[in-house]
Amino acid sequence: MSSAALLAIGDELIAGRVREGNFPPLIAALGAHGWRVGAARLCADDAADIVDAIHDLCAHHNLVLTTGGLGPTEDDLTSAAIARAVGVEQRRDASAEAMIRAYFAAVGRTPSEVNLRQADLPIGAVALRNPCGTAPGFVLPYGSSQIVVLPGVPREVLAIAETSLQDWLAAHEGTAPRRMSRTLSVAGLPEAALGEQLRDLMQRGGPVLIGSYPGAGEVRLHLEADAAHADALESVAREVESRLGAHVVSRSGASLEAVVVQRLRERGAQLAVAESLTGGLVMARLIAIPGASVCCRGGVVAYDDAMKVSLLGVDASLLQREGAVCEAVAVAMAEGLRLRLGTEFALATTGVAGPGADERGNPAGRVFVALATGSGTQARALSIPGSRLDVRERSASAALDLLRRALG
Amino acid sequence: MSSAALLAIGDELIAGRVREGNFPPLIAALGAHGWRVGAARLCADDAADIVDAIHDLCAHHNLVLTTGGLGPTEDDLTSAAIARAVGVEQRRDASAEAMIRAYFAAVGRTPSEVNLRQADLPIGAVALRNPCGTAPGFVLPYGSSQIVVLPGVPREVLAIAETSLQDWLAAHEGTAPRRMSRTLSVAGLPEAALGEQLRDLMQRGGPVLIGSYPGAGEVRLHLEADAAHADALESVAREVESRLGAHVVSRSGASLEAVVVQRLRERGAQLAVAESLTGGLVMARLIAIPGASVCCRGGVVAYDDAMKVSLLGVDASLLQREGAVCEAVAVAMAEGLRLRLGTEFALATTGVAGPGADERGNPAGRVFVALATGSGTQARALSIPGSRLDVRERSASAALDLLRRALG
């Protein structure tokens, strides 16, 4: 039996203030090492609840993984509750203490006694290094089960899953059938239209499961099968790609911005971005990609008309006559910035994020994006439903997608 | 006892392909009617797992609410499994059938036999109308518990929660004490230092629970108590505020950027932002706040040195001599942009996002933020641990916090 269970610990989860988000990456990490997750629970920061859940889950699963409640404050009870569930004391663990000291040393600080309290582990536990937080995780055997205890901060969970937990799992492989998966990233197609095009493939029954997960202007398609059906997985993936054509951003799950940065680097080309309603979002998404500094020179957030004139060289009389929300202004912004910075490509966005219409009566969601290149400028008009945030994120995606398609 | 439990049923949840998202709104709906959620679980579309979970949860809670697995296909097992758990047969329910027929009639269609199968309910169940989907929910008594069974599609869950479930809960109020809460937002203080300062208040036992939830450069403190202890809640909140002083960003949970936008608007002041390593993130966070357009004029993302010179007027010889990562450059960026755009305030960021050191040997996480105002310029040097994303987000928070404090 290689059955795993997850337990997310936190008042904020059980009170509905925070949405649980660590399960999906942990399930993927476990699955890659032959562990199938059979149960997942949330529980409060309550010692009795944690003890009960640990006893119950360890009776049915031989790997139990918890998240949350390892912080330095008084509401963090997990380590003590796990010790109680297993029937051991806690004591200062030298290896965990060394990890905490090293983490602080790396940032030129010294841990306080409160920080070091995070090294008080149940006796018999082995510390797991946390590359981006102060609380180490740990692994504790209990009967025929292993309990893996992690902090709850999502970025710390991800970092541990990729490093110390990964190493531990590699040394403790399960025997559940390996699953294989492929993730495709798709842009420029609403989820309903996507569902329509793939309806027959998405029906259950076959060996390949397909799930679609919409983001802001980008949909991720997840294809999954037992490793024994690798051929079926590949052939369904090829069928999906052939039906969706140029809407497929990547066959690796890489995002729009990652694909754009990669293609710019391959060409040795440089990009600048002039943003109005997206207010820096296009550039922020690009710069989040490692290596973006080579090809993204920078940009201007010209949120008001005077800045569009002074920083981008947009014609003041055009703004006066047509207002800022029109195709001609998007084109002028992109061309103006391209000229000023001498880059091969320049993107621009202008539009109404909402919630209401603008003073000229342009409705929320009316957006223009433009791309200026050495061989001419193209623009797209969009009408985007949803909240202010939706409109801004989808506008940023539309601009990035315009460039992606131009980069071939 | 008015203790409720949630059970989300679905292979896609337990396989990590879809993130559970129905719990928060259901917890809120239950809480508003005197039901406190004490447990929440995910389980697969597996009849034995569902039966076990129902038995276990009904033994400890007098209201058990399930989501998922009510669709018309073969892999939707919930209704049959609940019938089995309770020990009754299923049969076609006239009221549920009428709901399905009415739903189809409203869209000009006729239900197939497969659709009508969704009216096969456990004997003794009472149907709950689903205003935006084909599968009605239902309520089934079991011993001293009630089992409420809902579909899993989030928009259907929301619609049911606001209509038929709302009505059912109004007729079945729980007796859990109503809870009151306060959320404070805190910046400029690591979570451990915060824990140190509030240790006695955060110790369990009193009527006021305090939870701390770290974000990127900002910590949210959540204070909660039974409504009967409203005075204690207020007095603890006041004590927290007095201990944390200027670190308290807001007494309402409002974020750094929301507070900055509000204070700028109160003053009628305008802001511009010059960003290097944060690459547009400061501006994007500000512009996400409704009303930001009035006070945030725009900014420049000057990711490379030439742009710092041409768009911000930073002295090229300073960049040559000291490199871009130093206090003098942060100051020059802020002052240069303020001068060019004529705003009252200008923020600037420069630093090394990582993962590695820069070519001058500045380590990842070395960051300088600066604020230029009419009465002078101030800067802060930071040393930020974590990933590239952490460094950028915390740098953006540090810049916003510098402005927040200056705005008093």
| DSSP letter assigned to residue A178 | P
Compare CB distances from B24 to A19, A24, A28 and report the shortest one's residue.
A19
The whole-angstrom separation of Cα B226 and Cα B398 is 35
A27 part of contact set with chain B, CB < 8 Å: yes
**The pLDDT value given to residue B72:** 73
Q: Does any CB of chain A come closer than 8 Å to the CB of residue B198?
A: yes
Mutation target to probe the A interface, by most A beta carbons within 10 A, among B55, B287, B297, B304 is: B287
Confidence of residue B114 (pLDDT cuts 50, 70, 90): confident
Q: Please tell me if residue B165 touches chain A, with a CB cutoff of 8 Å.
A: no
Give the residue among A94, A300, A210 at the shortest CA–CA distance from B311.
Answer: A300
- HEC sequence for A326-377: CHHHHHHHHHHHHHHHCCCEEEEEEECCCCCCCCCCCCCCEEEEEEEECCEE
Site of tokens 């433009």: A370
Q: Which long-range contacts (CB under 8 A, 24 or more apart) does A242-246 make?
A: A243/A197, A243/A198, A244/A184, A244/A186, A244/A189, A244/A194, A244/A197, A246/A188, A246/A405
Helix (H, G, I), strand (E, B) or coil at A174: coil
**CB contact (8 A) between residue A209 and residue B17:** yes
* Peptide bond between residue A136 and the one before it cis (omega within 30 degrees of 0): no
What distance in Å separates residue A304's CA from the closest CA in chain B?
A: 6
B210 contacts A107? CB cut-off 8 A: no
- In chain A, the residue whose alpha carbon lies closest to the alpha carbon of B383 is A107
Give yes or no for A16 touching B (CB within 8 A).
yes
Answer whether residue B404 shows pLDDT above 90. Answer: yes
- Quote the minimal CA–CA distance from B39 to chain A in Å: 6
Q: For A311-327, what is each residue's pLDDT tens digit?
A: 899 999 999 999 999 99
Counting Cβ atoms within 10 Å, is residue A70 exposed (0-12), middle (13-18) or buried (19+)? Answer: buried
Q: Is A264 on the interface with B (CB under 8 A)?
A: no
Which of B52, B301, B349, B359 to substitute to test the interface with A, most A CBs within 10 Å? B301
A234 touches chain B (CB under 8 A): no
**B214 CA: distance to closest CA in chain A (Å):** 8
State whether B280 and A297 contact (CB < 8 Å): no
A22: chain B residues, CB-CB within 8 Å = none
A199 near B CB under 8 A? no
Helix (H, G, I), strand (E, B) or coil at B370: strand
Q: How many CA atoms lie within 13 A of A60 on its CB side?
A: 15
Give the H/E segment covering residue A159: helix A154-162
Interchain contact A129–B (C-beta under 8 A): no
Q: Are the CB atoms for A83 and A90 separated by under 8 Å?
A: yes
Cross-chain Cβ contact B41/A41 below 8 Å: yes
Query: Measuring CA to CA, how many Å separate B10 from each of A161, A284, B193, B346?
Result: 24, 36, 41, 51
Task: Reply yes or no on whether the pLDDT at A282 is more than 70.
Answer: yes
Task: For residues B194 and B219, give the distance between their C-alpha atoms in angstroms, rounded to a whole number.
Answer: 9
The answer to whether B43 contacts A45, with C-beta atoms less than 8 Å apart, is no
Residue B74 pLDDT > 70, yes or no? Answer: no
B84-105 pLDDT, tens digit per residue, is 999 999 999 999 999 999 988 8
Chain mean pLDDT for chain B: 91
Q: Tell me what the mean pLDDT of segment A8-33 comes to.
A: 91
Nearest Cα to A400, choosing from A296, A287, A285?
A: A285
Instruction: Give A361→chain B minimum CA distance, Å.
Output: 17
Closest-CA residue of A relative to B221 is A12
Which of chain B's residues have a Cβ under 8 Å away from the Cβ of A99?
A: none
Q: Is the peptide bond before B131 cis (omega within 30 degrees of 0)?
A: no
Chain B nearest C-alpha distance from A142 (Å): 22
Distance from CA of B164 to the nearest CA of A (A): 21
Q: How confident is the model at residue B16 (pLDDT cuts 50, 70, 90)?
A: confident
What 8-state DSSP symbol labels residue B228? G
CB contact under 8 A, B213 and A13: no
Using the predicted structure, report yes or no on whether residue A96 has a pLDDT greater than 70: yes
Burial state string for B244-267 with b = 16 or more CB within 10 A and e = fewer than 16: beebbbbeeebbbbbbbbbbbeee
Lowest mean pLDDT among A161-175, A382-396, B30-44: A382-396
Amino acid A191: pLDDT: 67
Tens-place pLDDT, residues A331-387: 999 999 999 888 999 999 999 988 889 989 999 999 999 999 999 999 999 988 777
Q: Please indicate whether residue B23 or residue A219 has the higher confidence score (pLDDT).
A: B23
Q: Is B186 on the interface with A (CB under 8 A)?
A: no
3-class DSSP state of A394 = helix
Averaged over B289-294, what is the pLDDT? 84
Count residue pairs from A and B with Cβ separation < 8 A. 260
Q: Which of A16, A72, A204 sits opposite B28 (nearest CB)?
A: A16
For the entire predicted model, the pTM comes to: 0.75
Q: Name the more confident of A205 and A32.
A: A32
Interface contact A120, partner B, CB < 8 A:
no
Q: What share of chain B is helix, strand, coil (3-state, %, to 5)?
A: 45, 25, 30
User: What's the rounded mean pLDDT across residues A57-80?
Assistant: 92
Judging contacts by C-beta atoms under 8 Å, the chain B residues touching residue A19 are 19-21, 23-24
Residue B76's pLDDT is 77
Inter-chain residue contact B303 with A281, CB threshold 8 Å:
no
What mean pLDDT is predicted for residues A247-274? Answer: 95
Residues B326-356: pLDDT tens digits? Answer: 999 999 999 999 998 899 999 999 999 888 8
Among candidates A20, A132, A299 on the partner chain, residue whose Cβ is nearest the Cβ of B385: A132
A116–B contact, CB cutoff 8 A: no
* Closest in A12, A38, A281 to B280, CB measured: A281
Write out chain B residues lying below 8 Å of A33, CB-based.
none
Residues of B in contact with A27 (CB under 8 A): 14-16
Is B376 in a helix, a strand, or coil? strand
B387: closest chain A residue by CA: A132
Q: Does B275 touch chain A (CB under 8 A)?
A: yes
Q: What number is the average pLDDT over the span A53-77?
A: 92
Considering only CB atoms, which chain A residues are within 8 Å of B18? 24, 211, 213
**Is the pLDDT assigned to residue B398 strictly greater than 90?**
yes
Q: B204, A17: Cβ pair inside 8 Å?
A: no
Helix (H, G, I), strand (E, B) or coil at A128: strand
B309-318 pLDDT, tens per residue? 988 999 999 9
> Tokens at residue B201, please?
């208040």
Q: What percent of chain A has pLDDT over 90?
A: 64
Interface test with B, best of A287, A305, A352, A358 (most B CBs within 10 A): A287
Q: Which residues pair with A301 in a beta bridge?
A: A275, B299
What mean pLDDT is predicted for residues A208-227? 81
- pLDDT above 80: residue B224: yes
Domains of chain B, start order = 3-171 (3.40.980.10), 179-250 (3.30.70.2860), 256-406 (3.90.950.20)
B60 at the A interface (CB within 8 A)?
A: no
- Identify the pLDDT of residue A366: 95
Is the Cβ of A31 closer than 8 Å to some Cβ of chain B?
Answer: yes
Measured between CA atoms, the residue of chain A closest to residue B35 is: A15
Task: Name the pLDDT band for A204 (thresholds 50, 70, 90).
Answer: low
Please, which pLDDT band fits residue B165 given cuts at 50, 70 and 90? very high
Q: Does A400 touch chain B (CB under 8 A)?
A: no
Q: Does A258 touch chain B (CB under 8 A)?
A: no
The answer to whether the complex's ipTM is over 0.85 is no
If we measure between CA atoms, which residue out of B355, B299, B283, B358 comes closest to residue B325?
B358
Q: Which residue of B has its CA nearest to A46?
A: B204
Q: Is A296 on the interface with B (CB under 8 A)?
A: yes
Closest residue on chain B to A299 (Cα): B301
How distant is the Cα of A143 from the closest Cα of chain B, in angstroms? 22
pLDDT (average), residues A173-187: 89
**Residue B34, number of CB atoms within 10 A of its CB:** 16
pLDDT of residue B204: 67
d(CA A208, CA A240): 12
